[in-house]
Chains A and B, each alone.
Chain A
Amino acid sequence: MKVTERQLDHLHVGEDQLSESQMKRFFNVLKATVARSRVRMTAAFLTVQHVDEFSQEGGLQIEEEMTLYLESKIRQTDLLFKLSKPFEWCVLLTQSGEEETKAFLARLFSDVSTQENFLQKGFSICMAASVAEIGNSQVAYEQLIESGRASLSNSRQADDWHIEYIAEFKRKAEETVKVSILENNEIFSNVLHTSLEDLAIEYFNLEIKVFKDGYEFLESDFYHSGHTHILIMNDILPRKNGLEVLHVLRELPNQKKFITFMMTKRKSEANMLYAYEKGVDEYLIKPFNLRLFEAQIKRTFERLWS
């Protein structure tokens, strides 16, 4: 190995340089967004194989060109930085999961292996990588770098173009979602309650409450919180009906947190259009199939994470 190690406290981001403490802060902001916006982020650690075949001068040039090349391959939402060891990079792919990163690496590896004028030094470049999907905001920067590099070392020893996957940061943090059932038939509301309670929904903890009418719901403080809130309500209710409740909720500044399911016997096109225009997300025509309802609820939860 002829290339010398660089200073640990400087990481390269394109032409600018960020100190490690700045990088750490940046990472902390990004990982907080992971939990808040429910959008996964992935760190891809990259290295070039057989670097000991490079001369010192050639090695430095290859590393510099590789940094520029990688920069040209990432999206505007991604972040590339050079790790402290030579020929090691990390790409933070915000808004991407493991699958998208795998596809990104396949494209990158294919391009690098066929890049004829990539380096006109007569070297053939082989790479290796490790991938860590981040699904929660508990991941520490140092821990990520340490695991990423250890995994990268395994990948390097395994084979050219090998990718190692790190599962330890993937686990999504459990989130509480409020569910309100607005229905005045006690038997039916209990059926919905039991059905939702029995649903196995990964990463989400449901806090379910039943209200007999819209007035009781609006008088409660159950909806005065930042939690994502699913409302399953009948359109016809005593005191305040489903559409009146919907109108109040859609006027709130944080109205996007409400996902509404309107249950109704009215199946005319005009009624459905009106309900959707007023902000209903799903329209359930009674009598409906409970299994299909559960599938819709599950799908709603799956869509919360992108």
Chain B
Amino acid sequence: MILTIELLLRLILLIVIVLVACTCYLIMQRMKEVSGQQKSRAYIREKQLLWYRYFRDEEPFHTSLIPKNQFDIQAIEEIFVAYLNNLATPAISEKIKWFSNQYLQQHFLALLRSRKWADRINSMERIVDFQMDSLVEDCEKIDGKKYSHEEHFQLLKIYVVLKEEQFVNKLLSLPIVLSEYEYKRLLMGVDEEIFQELMNRFEELPETCKFVLIDVLGVKRNMESLPFLEAQLEYHHDDIRIRALKAIYELGIIIEAEKYEHFGLSSIWEERLMFAKLLGNLPITYSAAYLQVLLQDNSWWVRSQAAQTIGQDKQGREILQKFIETANDPFAIDMANEVLWRR
């Protein structure tokens, strides 16, 4: 085919027309977006004080707060997220829950049924944030569909907040493998009853979940978990034992010191390290003898921890100085000196 000038010109014209049409479309889309943002801003500007007074019980609920369009909903979402992230109290959360169930349900249901993954995820996130229990059943209805990893995770978050009684069963029947970080995000938000159920069904949990459960119990510092954590000190998996020791250290309480003594002689250096750390929760009169042995350990980490634990005590300086004068181990003396100098 010969490319004539006329044909070339026609082609150029066609391309120009397509380009102009695309540009016009993009400009219109942008204008629509900007106009939408302006409408959302206007809602925030006009209504944020009303929301403030309503949340603080200074004024009753006003019908003008009810959204009239998509942009109002976006603005309300922004207001709710700002409050929940910065200023949540049970009363505010309850008002957000009531309003969302009442006036935002249809909007989030439509997003939940959307074919776009991002819409579904956003909707599920908001269902959790705003505690929209009216949509839990809708979430479950589409449970059978092929969810992505992230959607499975979001669904678990919904169970944590809105259907606690089913959370553990759902967690155990999960078709995907969650990471340590994801388990942590889930377990940090669960309540006491779920913790109790997880402790009761500890053997059924995936290994990563076991690790995280022990870590989170330590972070939460709930004394009631001490018997469970102490029971895990006999567990066959050393990672579980080490994490249990760490969690008990976080709790800051030791009832029967004898239960831990054998960790000072463990063949695993991490256990000896955690024992040296735990001794910091006991009076130095009891722990000094153990710590002086650990100060001569063949692991640098254990020696360092033992010296630090001694150094934390009021009488620590005296003990370290005495140790330096009498000990023969040059590595241990070095470590004791290091802590003495640092003080």
Contact status B79-A187, CB under 8 Å: yes
Asked if A289 meets B89 with Cβ closer than 8 Å, knowing A187-B48, A194-B49, the reply is yes
Q: Does B84 contact A (CB under 8 A)?
A: yes
Contact status A290-B56, CB under 8 Å: yes
Q: Does A191 contact B (CB under 8 A)?
A: yes
Which residues of chain B come closer than 8 Å to A191, judged between CB atoms?
A: 48, 52, 82-83, 86-87
**Closest approach, in angstroms, between the C-beta of A235 and any C-beta of chain B?**
13
Contact status B89-A185, CB under 8 Å: no
- Chain B proximity mask over A142-185: 1 for CB below 8 Å, otherwise 0: 00000000000000000000000000000000000000000001
Q: Does B78 contact A (CB under 8 A)?
A: yes
**Cα distance A191–B49 in the bound complex, in angstroms:** 8
Residues from 15 to 58 in B contacting A, C-beta threshold 8 Å = 44, 48-49, 52, 56
Interface size class of A (residues with CB under 8 A): 10 to 19
Q: Does A288 contact B (CB under 8 A)?
A: yes
Contact status A187-B44, CB under 8 Å: yes
**Cα distance A269–B79 in the bound complex, in angstroms:** 31
Closest to A284 in B: B86
**Could you list some 11 contacts between A and B, CB below 8 A?**
A185-B82, A186-B44, A187-B48, A187-B83, A188-B87, A191-B82, A191-B87, A194-B49, A287-B84, A287-B87, A287-B88
B interface residues, tally (CB under 8 Å): 15
- Chain A proximity mask over B280-295: 1 for CB below 8 Å, otherwise 0: 0000000000000000
**Cα distance A191–B92 in the bound complex, in angstroms:** 13
Number of A-B residue pairs having CB atoms within 8 Å of each other in the complex: 42
Closest to B58 in A: A198
- Chain A proximity mask over B45-76: 1 for CB below 8 Å, otherwise 0: 00011001000100000000000000000000
**Closest approach, in angstroms, between the C-beta of A157 and any C-beta of chain B?**
51
Contact status A290-B89, CB under 8 Å: yes
**Closest approach, in angstroms, between the C-beta of B175 and any C-beta of chain A?**
32
Q: Does B200 contact A (CB under 8 A)?
A: no
**Cα distance A187–B79 in the bound complex, in angstroms:** 7
Which residues of chain A come closer than 8 Å to B85, judged between CB atoms?
A: 185, 188, 286-287
Q: Does A190 contact B (CB under 8 A)?
A: yes
